[in-house]
Amino acid sequence: MHNIKKLKIWTDSIDLCVDVYKALENMPNEEKYGLSSQIKRSVVSISSNIAEGAGREREKEFYYFLNVAYGSSYELQTQLILCERLDFVSQEINTVLLHKLDEIQKMIYVFKENINKK
């Protein structure tokens, strides 16, 4: 088991979640239960799955939850790009979010590879 508060991968994913929620504050009301809701589920899924995996006793289980978080990160990437194309989020804000997401994706990948080597 890992202390999630000491995992940079987890703290960075929490920070991204907060940033995404703030970026969505001005989404159109008709998207409240559509794209906005889906984006929020995706971004929350990343940190939640990292936390769930970190709480497991076996590294193999942690690896599984990192895979789920990794998948959610690509889902979020697609949704953020769609938001920008629909002019729901500015390119400037989206560039920052996508950069942070890219860093988290790299960390998840490296973390998974390190578990695989054990």
Map residue 86 onto helix, strand or coil.
coil
- The per-residue pLDDT of the chain, averaged, comes to 93
* CA of residue 29 relative to chain centroid, distance: 23
Residue with tokens 């695989």: 116
| Domains and their CATH numbers in the chain | 4-117 (1.20.1440.60)
**63 vs 28, which has greater pLDDT?**
63
Q: What is the pTM of this model?
A: 0.92
Number of Cα atoms under 13 Å in the Cβ half of residue 9: 25
Distance in Å from the first CA to the final CA of the chain: 15
Residue 2: both structure tokens together: 């890992």
Is residue 79 within 8 A of residue 39, CB to CB? The reply is yes
